[in-house]
Structure 1
Amino acid sequence: MSRPFLKMNGLGNDFVVVEARSAPFRPSEAEARAIADRASGVGCDQIIGIEPSDRADAFMRIWNADGGEVSACGNATRCVGWLLLEASGRPSAAIETEAGLLQVARAEDAADGAKQVTVDMGVPGLDWRDIPLAEEMDTRGVELQVGPIDDPILHTPGCVSMGNPHVVFFVPDAEAAPVREVGPMIEHHLLFPERANVGFAQIKGRDRIRLRVWERGAGLTKACGTGACAALVAAARRGLTDRKATVEMDGGELVIEWRESDGHVLMTGPVAVEFTGTLKDRAA
């Protein structure tokens, strides 16, 4: 059968969102790739299914553009959260994911009028087994480098799990960082048995980070919500920033706070609806 969808984005990180609480939606890897294909399909970074949940307002299922299912996506959580808040009229909602239960709440509109949502992303995973890594290491700075042994171009990244694995390299200039060249190599490095999202973070101040992310299964994206959270946590652990900062990405800005009182990470940013459509029968 045909299946209606919403095309949404969070800072340009874009999604095909399908309502699946009344009828199941489980595309195969090939079907998911077809939907995400920007030349012949709808085109997106991730595909989102909103399913029923016994524990929350909805369950959010996520497929990357390569067809693989993943556990977490911060920007998608804001988009789904906004839909749930709009439908209920309530100020907050709960979303169940494979990575756990996430709370979302309305935030003050941006200066340009954009609707904003805050997501409580929970406590970051900081143990090497949380990431996971293939061997025990201090995740503040793991033993990994790119380039000549005596003069590496990148080295000692921080690692954080935000329900998905992140590697964060600190670079002097994010614009010049070799994201497309190094990102795929690190994503598939043997140190990361579940692959990894790869961030390239430039510290611009105690309260500001410039970030570019090679996203696992999606490539270079305009924004990555969990990547922004991971960058702030990795930077704060090294004393490079305070526990709250604005993270600048190609698609715009997110405000990330690693709350000291309970260790939870809060992410605030905008959502946008681009258009509606209907998936072809092969992907329904």
Structure 2
Amino acid sequence: MKFTKMQGLGNDYVYVNCFKEKIDNPPEVAKIVSDRHFGIGSDGLIMINPSKVADFEMEMYNADGSRGEMCGNGIRCVAKYVYDYGLTDKTHISVETLGGIKYLDLTVKDGKVALVRVDMGEPELDPEKIPIIMKGYSDESDRVLNAQIKVDGKEYHMTGVSMGNPHDVVYIDDVQGLDIEKIGPKFENHERFPQRINTEFARVIDRKTVEMRVWERGSGETLACGTGACAVAVASILNGYTEREVEIRLLGGNLQIEWNEEDNHVYMTGPATVVFDGEIEL
């Protein structure tokens, strides 16, 4: 199977052009290629497919083989792949995902895509649609805004957002010193998250800057998460911490996020990079 390894701020996936390749068992292939000792090494597998409703389809699987709805860093790399490898000559494209159709604007320099701006659509704040269980809890409401949650015997406050996939944003004082390997799985598999959850641990630096680390459902800690950065921006605005345009600082680099007041859409701008092309025998 021919593949291209790509990364967006260190959030790396194995990309397969399924206009040419055929994958019979994507969940199993995802587990094989993601292994950093016996495989290629990645946060998952992304298949670039034909689509009947958009220019392309992004079909993604996490490192544990579970299907993912959407990945902000991943979709930027899809945009770079389809342009740089000649599948399109358009600089405005649409990509079908399980989280809906996304629209992307490509900035091209010297014939290659350098930056991608993604219209991530409207954030979903309804607890039932994220989904986060609120019924039966003291802070039951129509939004998960600074809601209490007890994890591993400790009280936290979370803000819930879906960007096509479920997120809970938790503000803490020390992001860098957090033992995320210990607490991340406890959040991911908590009883209040019926489809598991992506958890962003965030700290507000100022009105235009937030730092975060992320524990991704099915992949563990990653260097960056585009949908997670969008969720942090939305949560920070909802809580009154930041302006509507904010820089999100992740371990792998920075993303510019805007929650547009007029159309209610979230826009994410960031880089995408090819690491290498290769071929693996499965």
**CA offset digits 1:239-263 (Å, max 9, x no partner):** 0111110111110000011111111
Query: Which amino acid is 1:241 matched to?
Result: T
Aligned residue for 2:94?
94
1:118 Cα deviation after fit: 0.6
Q: 1:49 aligns with which of 47, 50, 66?
A: 47
TM-score (norm 2): 0.92
Aligned-pair CA distance for 1:26: 4.1
Q: Is the 8 A contact 1:85 1:92 kept in 2?
A: no
Superposition deviation, residue 180 in structure 1: 1.5
Counterpart in 1 of 2:212? 211
Q: Are 2:122 and 1:123 equivalent residues in the alignment?
A: yes
2:145 corresponds, among 104, 116, 140, to 140
Aligned twin of 2:4: 6
Separation in structure 1 between the aligned mates of residue 120 and residue 255 of structure 2, nearest angstrom: 13
- CA positional deviation for 1:47: 0.5
Partners of 1:123 and 1:10 in 2: CA distance: 22
Deviation of 1:21 (Å) = 2.2
Q: Corresponding residue for 1:80?
A: 78
Code of the aligned partner of 1:140:
L
Deviation at 1:129, TM superposition (A): 1.1
The secondary structure found in structure 1 opposite 2:59 is strand
Q: CA deviation at 1:271?
A: 0.6
Secondary structure in 2 matching 1:143 = strand
What is aligned with 2:65? Answer: 67
Q: How many residues align?
A: 272
Deviation at 1:156?
1.4
SS of structure 2 residue aligned to 1:184: helix
Amino acid at match of 1:230: A
Deviation at 1:173, TM superposition (A): 2.0
Point out where structure 1 has 5 or more consecutive residues left out of the alignment: none
State the Cα distance separating 1:174 from its structure 2 match. Answer: 1.1
Deviations 1:87-124 (A, max 9, x none): 32222100001110000112487xxx981111100001
Aligned residue in 2 for 1:34:
32
On the 8 A contact 1:85/1:93 being kept in 2, the answer is no
1:181 alignment counterpart: 182
The alpha-carbon distance between structure 1 residues 175 and 260, as it changes in their structure 2 partners (threshold 3 A), is same
Q: Deviations over 1:250-281 (max 9, x none)?
A: 1000001111111101000011000011121x
| C-alpha contact (below 8 Å) 2:223/2:251 kept by paired residues | yes
- How far residue 147 of structure 1 moved from its aligned partner, in angstroms, is 5.8
Instruction: Indicate the SS of the match to 1:228.
Output: helix
